[in-house]
Each structure stands twice: as C-alpha cells, then as structure tokens.
Amino acid sequence: MAGSIEQRIPLGAEGAVSLPLLDRIHQWVVTVDHKRLGLMYIAGGLVFFIVAGLQAMTIRLQLAIPNAGIVPPDMFNRLMTMHGTTMVFLVGMPILTGFFNYLVPLMIGARDLAFPRLNAFGFWLWLFGALLLYFSYIGGNGLYGAGSAPDVGWFAYAPLTERAFSRGNSTDYWILSIFLTSVGSTATALNLITTTFTMRCEGMTLRKMPVLVWMSLVVSFMILIVLPPLSAAQVMLLLDRFVGAHFFDTQAGGSAVLWQHFFWIFGHPEVYILVIPAFGFASEIIPVFSRKVIFGYEVMVAATVAIGFISMSVWAHHMFAVGMTPAGNAFFATSTMLVGVPTGIKIFNWIGTMWGGKIRFKVPMLFSVAFLLQFLIAGLTGIMLAVAPFDWQLTDTYFVVAHFHYVLVGAIIFMIFAAVYYWFPKATGKMLNEHLGKWHFWLFFIGFHLTFDTMHFAGLHGMPRRIYTYQPGRGLDTLNLIETFGALVQAAAVLCLFVNVVRSLRSGEEAGNDPWDAWTLEWATTSPPPAYNFVEQPVVRSRRPLWDLKHPDDPDSKYE
C-alpha cells in the first residue's frame, strides 16, 4: 500500500523540484493532502496579513496628527472595515485552521484528515470568499455609483447596513464573502473533530492527546456552534436587502439591537476561537523550551473547555451601552469576569511549566514569554471592561481598540510567529535564522508596545474608535504620533520575518527530523513529512511518545 503511494506522489522537496512548474502547480491545486492544504491556508493568511497590515499603516498615518488629509473619510471607513474583516476572517482564521490542518493528523499519528476532499473544498471556498471580499473594490459600486469596498465596520451594525443607508453592493460583498468563508471554516471544524474522534493511532486515548489537539477539538466545536448565528444573521440581512424583509429594518418595527445580539453571539466566542489555538501553540512550545512536561495537563484541558462554554454566555458585554436592564448588565458582567478564572488558571499553569525548568531562549520561546505577559495585560484590561459602569466610559473607545489588539496581536499574532519559527523546520526541512528572528522579535515587541500601550491612554482621554480624524487641542496629538511610530517599527519587524523565510527557503540550515528535541509525534517523522506522514502506524503509551523513546528508563507512562 505504502509503496504504491510513493510511486504516484513524489516525496518531499527533492521529488517535487524535478517536475515542471505547471505540474507542480497542478499538484498543489488538486491536492487533498492535509499538509499541503495547511500550508496553503497559512500562506494565504500571510498574504492577507500583508494586505491588512498595509491598510493598518494607512490608518495610522492618517491618524498620526490631527486633521490629517492622507485619505478622505469614506476611504478611511473602508480601510478600517476591510482591515478588521480581513484580519479576523482572512488572516486569523485561515492561519489557525492551517496549523490545525497541518498538525492535528501528525500529532495523533493519522495519515490525513477524515474527509480529505471536504478539506480541499473548505480551502477553496475560503479562498473564493476571500477574493470575493476584495472584488468588492471593483464590483461594490452596483448600479448606484455608491461606494466600493464595504464601509460598515467589521461588525456591520444594523440599520447602517440596510439598503436605505448602504447603497450599492459593497455590503452584499461583505455578507457573501464572510458567509462563504464561514461555511469553509465549518467544514474544516467538522473534519477536525471527526478526525480526532475516529483516526487516533493506537494507544492514543483522548487523555493522551497533545494539548494542541485538545485545543483544536474545543475550537472546532465552538466554530460549529457559533459561526451559524453569524451566517443566519447574514442571511436575514441579505433577505432585508434583496427581497424587502424587515428583520433589521427599524422603520418597519425591526430591531437594531437584535443584530447586535446575533453578531456578538458569534463575535465574542470568535475571539476565543482565535486565541485558543494560540493557547495550543504555547502549550506545545513552552514545555519543549523549558525542558519540562506541561504542568497540570488535565486542568489545562478542563480550563479550556470551561472557557469554551463560558465564552458562549458573555456576548452582551459588547452591548453594555445599548440600554439593557440593570439585571442584564449585571449578568453579563458576572459571566465575563468568570471567564477570567479559567484563563488565569492557564497562565498559572504555563508559569508552573517554566518553574524549575531549564529555559532555552530560542525565538519561539521569546515570542511565547512575551505572549504570556501581554495576554496577562489583555486579560486584566478585559476585567476592567467587564465592570459594566467602567465599560460605559470605555466601550467604543481606543481603550477597547488597545484591549483587543493586545489579544489579537499581543497574544495571537505573537503565538503565530512563535508557531511559524517552531514548525517551519518541520514543514520545510530548513531552520529559520536565529539572529534575524531575534531582530524580528525585539522590533515587533517594541513596536507593539509603543502602539498599543499608548492607545489605552488615548481611549481614557475620550478618543472614540473608528474616527477618521480628530481635532487639535484635545490632548490626543502626542499619543497618536507615538502610536504611528510604533506601527512603523512593527512593519519593519514583519519585513524581517519575510526576509528570514525567503532566505531560509533558499539556503537555510538543514533542520533534521527533530531540531528542538521535542516530544510529540510530528517530530517522529521526516522533515518535511512524506505524503502519508508515517511509514508505520505509530503506537503510543503516553502524552509524550518521543520522551518515552528518548528516556526508556523513565517513561512518562509511569506517571500519567
């Protein structure tokens, strides 16, 4: 069986190089291999990361000084809408989906996902949706000559999205493209769960799965439950816009607040859908570079499951200012603060993992430690926002912008970078340059803090979010100038990453199978792994099969 696969599909990079370019492209297009699809997701996500990053740069330049005229107001509004939508749906989701796609089968000792063709379908649907969103720049005008790209903000509050206030087709592009990428994500989530339940290698019970696989399980369940509310609300909005339904039409008795509920039932858990994979990366990387087993495996998993459940009951903390009853406000304040408890437990367990270890500060570990500190701050500002009265002042200001960028950049992007440095050798067989990696880390770390620490204070000074300009004389000038400077530093850091990747692919140091001396199954196969992942189906006896192999005298299975 294995032999016949080898004959049809060339192994690794050397095999592929010998083929003509068109054949190689053809192979990638028709592939159903989870590793290739995973890499395509990540590559696609990184391309959109550049696009949305450039949008952020333009936004920051416009806000660098008061009354700046770099972009007109309507273009600014499109930029901030596209930046938000792109970063969430076309950067965060695909990169994290890509890592899960790549890693989950390898980590559970499977040869592919349960439904490989569904997986390919999900990817192409995502890509189509992504291109559709950007096609709005061309097609969004409709017949009305109104607008191009969507300008309704990434949460698209009704009734600004109704025909009366959003003419042309830009909002329709927003609806359809996000709807399609959501269907793609749902298909992938279904696939990952089925794979995890039905294709684990011998000996790998649920309790012996790597933490990252657990995280993928929790995230996938969350995707299945919370993406449909967004899709359903988008279908309603589409009905409003095209066949004259009145779901969110306030003129006909419709409710603008209902959209907010539906959106945030999706929108808040979405943040956890994005951050839990980051937890997964941290739970793989921190132990390996601390040379210690993860502290409190069961508690880590249980805390994540708890976060998953609680996060579905906190959505209206985005809506403290819409005039809910005091009881409603108190309920959502309570549930929101309760999320802090399992989140805190996770941070403590990572510290527990480092405690007493021998920490090696390679680039992935640097990003992970920064993640720990930044995620701590993000959590604490989250507690401040959960205090409903405090939130009446903070919501919709730059304090909130700072808070969620601390989560999305400070936690998620930092861990994505860590994961790129950590698994790049596995996927390509080449190491990324450590020296350039450190430049990348320190520049990004400094730029990040210059930009986002300052934003908290702008918010406290009364700067609302989504304004294309602000007037002089309100105490906002210096803060905003620092933020813009920090953004430029971050851009320089990202440039280091791309230089690093290109250089490594050309002439990187050979990685070998297991460059980090790690313990999970993906390091047991070659780098890059063959199409069928493992020559022989692995058999595991503990959570760290490679530890058992390297320490036969003192295997983990004795202690678990």
Partner 1 sequence: MAAAPAVANQSQIEWKGSLPEKGRVGILLLILTESSFFAIFVVAYLFYIGKSLNGPYPKDVLSPPIINTICLLSSSITIVFAVRALRVGSIGTFTLWWLVTLALGLEFMIGTGLEWQELIYHDGLTISTNLFGTTFFSLVGLHALHVTIGLILILFVSILTLLGYMDRRYAERTEILSWYWHFVDAVWVVVFTTVYVIGR
Partner 2 sequence: MKRWLPILIGLVGSPIIAFANDWGMGASNAKIPPPTIFTPVSTPANEIDTVAYFTITVCAAIFVIVAGLVVYSIIRFREPPGDDGREPAQVYGSNPIEFAWTTVPILIVFVLILTTARTIYSVQAAPRPPDSILVHVIGHQWWWEFRYPELGVVTANELHVPLSDRAHPTPTFLDLESADVAHSFWVPRLAGKTDVIPNRKNTMWIDPHQPGIYLGQCAEYCGTEHALMLLRVVVEPRPDFDRWIAAQKQRAVADASVDHGRQIFETTACVNCHVVQGTAAEGRFGPDLTHLMARETIGAGAAMNTPDNLKTWVHDPSTIKPGALMPAMNLSQKDLDDLVAYLVTLH
Look up residue 29 and give its two tokens: 């297009």
The interaxial angle of helices 477-507 and 414-428, nearest 10 deg, is 10
Residue entry with tokens 């539906």 = 262
**CA distances to 2, 14, 378, 530 from 19, in Å:** 21, 10, 48, 17
190 makes contact with partner 2 (CB under 8 A):
no
Residue in 258, 359, 376, 436 binding partner 1, rule: CB under 8 A: 258
Tell which residue, 420, 413, 444, has the closest CA to residue 505.
420
Nearer to partner 1, 397 or 520 (CB): 520
257 makes contact with partner 2 (CB under 8 A):
yes
Residue in 12, 203, 228, 340 binding partner 2, rule: CB under 8 A: 340
From the list partner 1, partner 2, none, which binds 203 (C-beta under 5 to 8 Å, kind-based)? Answer: partner 1
Nearer to partner 2, 82 or 293 (CB): 293
Mention every residue, 6+ apart, whose C-beta is less than 8 A from residue 165. 159
- Of the CA atoms within 13 Å of residue 287, those in its CB half-sphere come to 22
Stretch that binds partner 1, among 37-45, 68-76, 247-255, 330-338 (CB under 8 A): 247-255
Nearer to partner 1, 231 or 381 (CB): 231
Touching partner 2, residues 390-429 (CB under 8 A): 390-397
Touching partner 1, residues 515-534 (CB under 8 A): 521, 524
Touching partner 2, residues 74-93 (CB under 8 A): 74, 77
Touching partner 1, residues 170-189 (CB under 8 A): 186, 189
The alpha helices in 64-169, defined as continuous H runs, are: 73-85, 93-107, 116-139
CB of 17 to partner 2, least distance (A): 36
224 makes contact with partner 1 (CB under 8 A):
yes
345 makes contact with partner 2 (CB under 8 A):
yes
From the list partner 1, partner 2, none, which binds 369 (C-beta under 5 to 8 Å, kind-based)? Answer: partner 2
141 makes contact with partner 2 (CB under 8 A):
no
Stretch that binds partner 1, among 229-237, 343-351, 445-453, 479-487 (CB under 8 A): 229-237
From the list partner 1, partner 2, none, which binds 296 (C-beta under 5 to 8 Å, kind-based)? Answer: partner 2
From the list partner 1, partner 2, none, which binds 11 (C-beta under 5 to 8 Å, kind-based)? Answer: none
Specify which residues 463 forms β-bridges with. Answer: none
From the list partner 1, partner 2, none, which binds 232 (C-beta under 5 to 8 Å, kind-based)? Answer: partner 1
CA 78/CA 55 separation, integer angstroms: 10
For 368-378, give one letter per residue: b (16+ CB within 10 A) or e: bbbbbebbbbb
254 makes contact with partner 1 (CB under 8 A):
yes
8 A C-beta contact, residue 343 and residue 271: no
CB of 100 to partner 1, least distance (A): 15
Touching partner 2, residues 157-176 (CB under 8 A): 157-160, 164-165
Nearer to partner 2, 33 or 284 (CB): 284
Residue 87 neighbours by CB distance under 10 Å:
26
CA angle 508, 9, 204 (to 5 degrees): 80
Residue in 11, 16, 47, 61 binding partner 2, rule: CB under 8 A: 61
8 A C-beta contact, residue 294 and residue 353: yes
Look up residue 177 and give its two tokens: 């493209």
**CA distances to 52, 63, 296, 360, 511 from 56, in Å:** 6, 11, 39, 34, 35
Residue in 227, 236, 377, 408 binding partner 2, rule: CB under 8 A: 377
From the list partner 1, partner 2, none, which binds 304 (C-beta under 5 to 8 Å, kind-based)? Answer: none
Residue in 39, 96, 236, 278 binding partner 1, rule: CB under 8 A: 236
Touching partner 1, residues 435-494 (CB under 8 A): none
144 makes contact with partner 2 (CB under 8 A):
no
117 makes contact with partner 2 (CB under 8 A):
no
CA 409/CA 280 separation, integer angstroms: 16
231 makes contact with partner 1 (CB under 8 A):
yes
Tell which residue, 85, 92, 105, 1, has the closest CA to residue 44.
92
Residue in 263, 264, 470, 523 binding partner 2, rule: CB under 8 A: 470
CB of 261 to partner 1, least distance (A): 8
228 makes contact with partner 1 (CB under 8 A):
yes
Nearer to partner 2, 291 or 503 (CB): 291
CB of 221 to partner 2, least distance (A): 23
CA 12/CA 35 separation, integer angstroms: 11
Touching partner 1, residues 61-120 (CB under 8 A): 114-115
Nearer to partner 2, 117 or 551 (CB): 551
CB of 137 to partner 1, least distance (A): 30
Tell which residue, 175, 171, 168, 178, has the closest CA to residue 152.
171
Look up residue 120 and give its two tokens: 């390919």
Nearer to partner 2, 216 or 260 (CB): 260
Stretch that binds partner 1, among 231-239, 429-437, 465-473, 490-498 (CB under 8 A): 231-239
8 A C-beta contact, residue 280 and residue 215: yes
453 makes contact with partner 2 (CB under 8 A):
no
Question: Which contacts of 499-508 are long-range, i.e. CB under 8 A and separated by 24 or more positions?
Answer: 499/436, 500/432, 500/433, 500/436, 500/437, 500/440, 501/420, 501/424, 501/432, 503/433, 503/436, 504/424, 504/428, 504/430, 504/431, 504/432, 504/433, 505/428, 505/430, 508/428, 508/430, 508/431, 508/432, 508/433
Applying CB under 8 A, which residues contact partner 1?
114-115, 186, 189-190, 193-194, 197-200, 202-203, 224-229, 231-233, 235-236, 239, 243-247, 252-255, 258, 262, 265, 521, 524, 536-541, 545-546, 548-549
